[in-house]
């Protein structure tokens, strides 16, 4: 059974940093894209970032580009999201996602949450002003 478990969320002041982790189990994800989404109360689940299997290609939403960095450690079956210069509008539940297709498509493909095959339970990030 595939399981994705996020950690690292919490409360931080605007301008601060957090590092989210997503540990995968039940399968080796080293050959598959992984990503992060977020969902604020009353809003849709939005794409944040995606990374291919060998860490040499990434996508970011315009709202986080230059502030967030996605990375992965395939030996640990873990993907990370380093979040810097946090803003109150970054407040949301952050979800880890994984693909089961070992291919790398365009940004528009991964932007759609329906494309992703596996999801974690989410971790809350709250940024105070």
Q: Alpha-carbon torsion 54, 57, 61, 65, what sign?
A: positive
CB 14 within 8 A of CB 125: no
pLDDT digits (tens, 9 = 90+) for 1-39: 789 999 999 999 999 999 999 999 888 788 889 999 999
Alpha-carbon distance of 41 to 37, in angstroms, equals 14
Q: What is the structure's pLDDT at 28? A: 77
As a whole number, mean pLDDT of residues 96-125 equals 93
């Amino acid at each position: 059974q595939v399981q994705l478990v996020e950690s690292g969320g919490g409360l931080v002041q605007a301008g601060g940093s957090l590092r989210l982790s997503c540990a995968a189990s039940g399968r080796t994800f080293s050959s598959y894209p992984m990503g992060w989404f977020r969902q604020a109360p009353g809003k849709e689940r939005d794409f944040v970032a995606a990374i291919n299997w060998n860490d040499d290609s990434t996508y970011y939403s315009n709202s986080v580009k230059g502030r967030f960095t996605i990375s992965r450690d395939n030996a640990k079956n873990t993907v990370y999201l380093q979040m810097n210069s946090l803003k109150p509008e970054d407040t949301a539940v952050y979800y880890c996602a994984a693909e089961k297709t070992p291919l790398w498509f365009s940004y528009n493909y991964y932007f759609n949450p329906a494309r992703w095959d596996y999801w974690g339970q989410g971790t809350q990030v709250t940024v105070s002003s």
